[in-house]
Amino acid sequence: MEWLTLTIDGKEVSVPKGITVLEACRQHNIRIPTLCHDPSLTNTAACRLCVVEIEGIRNLPASCVTIATQGMVIRTGSDRVKEARKTILELLVANHPLDCMTCQKMGNCSLAQYAYEYGVSGDVFQGDKRELPLDDSNPFIIRDSSKCILCGKCVRACQEEQVNGVLDFFARGFQTQVGPAFNSKLAESECVFCGSCVAVCPVGALTERQMAGKGRPWEITKVQTTCPYCGTGCNFDLNVREGKVIGVTSNSDAPVNGRMLCVKGRFGFDLIHNPERLTTPLIKKKGKFVEASWDEALDLVADKFTEIVQVHGPDTLAALSSAHCTNEENYLMQKFMRAVIGTNNVDHCART
């Protein structure tokens, strides 16, 4: 690998050839704010918040699309750079609803974070504000186009990661929006509700409907776990507040799926606290099911298995495993049938 020598904020560093200035800075723990950048998506320089000052270049280029070159001298925190970033933020906030107190994204909003950091008040630029209708036509995603900053991350996630192409830009100038074709509702589009757009949205334009009003980020504990709906092994974070699961969010560090999830994995968590869910074993006594302890239920199953094997032989029993279980659980199931029961009558629902 060929290496380059750069000077960033007065410090000489080495970086691999072919990376962007933004990547070079982040490799050396130099923080640059971004709203439209995502490591897994193409770079578009839509927000311009990552501008830096480079000797020999008159303007302030966006670091996410500027390739680092040998000997480049970069300044990431000069007065000129800070003033440009503040102006960009002032322009964004000028046309953004300031309902942060009730916004579901508060505490996890990149725009609010940077506005606080750069001292942006929203009073510099005055003019018309977009007042677009709220799209809450489906049970999974709330789409508030008035809060959209047109970063395009949801568009790229839909097109590049999920390859659905449901979202895109439409209209021009002040009227520009992001949404399905002909500005139809999400519920009426070809959206499969994977939620990838929600996962990348840096503001409150796209939020999980089921989590609305149920807790702020600082009130929530995230517990990483494996999705039970199929055998793929996707990981996600359970969002827990006061001992109750209030939602699911994707985890970009998940080894199998990254932040991508299907509609069941991301939004199908309501069964956890469903009042009709069985939480204790039931055994039949005198023709009726009654609650029992786990020890009582397992002892009953063991006794019945033993009786059947002794009277009729092991091949009278069979086991069907499920893709909802982990590979390890399925392995233990077949080992139990072969080594303990003594039969090879084992099958799996995914085989069919």
Residue 99 contacts by C-beta under 8 Å, 6 or more apart in sequence? none
Out of 72-81, 124-133, 327-336, 342-351, the most confident range is 72-81
Task: Please state the pTM of the whole predicted model.
Answer: 0.84
Single out the residue in 213, 236, 265 at which a domain terminates. Answer: 213
Residue 86 resides in a domain: no
Same domain for 208 and 133? yes
pLDDT for 122: 84
Q: Which H or E run contains 112?
A: helix 110-117
pLDDT for 121: 84
Residue 269 resides in a domain: yes
Single out the residue in 277, 294, 324 at which a domain terminates. Answer: 277
Please count the residues of the chain. Answer: 352
Per-residue tokens: 158: 């839909």
pLDDT for 349: 77
Number of domains in the chain: 4
> pLDDT higher for 121 or 37?
37
Kindly report, residue by residue over 111-147, the tens digit of the pLDDT: 999 999 999 988 888 888 888 999 988 889 999 999 9
- β pairing state of 3-8 and 221-226: unpaired
| Residue in 57, 60, 59, 67 with CA at minimum distance from that of residue 24 | 67
Cβ pair 238, 208 in contact under 8 A: no
Same domain for 145 and 220? no
Mean pLDDT of 24-45: 95
Identify the domain containing residue 154 by its residue range. 104-213
Average pLDDT, the chain: 93
Kindly report, residue by residue over 47-58, the tens digit of the pLDDT: 999 999 999 999
Extended strands (E) in the chain: 3-8, 11-16, 53-54, 73-75, 134-135, 141-144, 168-170, 177-179, 206-208, 221-226, 235-241, 244-249, 282-285, 288-291, 319-321, 346-348
Kindly report, residue by residue over 183-198, the tens digit of the pLDDT: 889 889 999 999 999 9
Q: Is the pLDDT of residue 205 over 90?
A: yes
Cβ pair 346, 319 in contact under 8 A: yes
Residue 38 resides in a domain: yes
Same domain for 209 and 112? yes
Long-range contacts of 314-321 (CB under 8 A, 24+ apart): 314/341, 314/342, 314/343, 315/343, 315/345, 317/341, 317/343, 317/345, 318/343, 318/345, 318/346, 318/347, 319/345, 319/346, 319/347, 320/347, 320/348, 320/349, 321/346, 321/347, 321/348, 321/349
Q: Is the pLDDT of residue 108 over 80?
A: yes
**In the structure, what pLDDT confidence band is assigned to residue 229 with cuts at 50, 70 and 90?**
confident
pLDDT for 206: 96
- β pairing state of 134-135 and 73-75: unpaired
Same domain for 200 and 294? no
Same domain for 199 and 224? no
pLDDT for 45: 95
Residue 266 sits in a domain whose CATH number is: 2.20.25.90
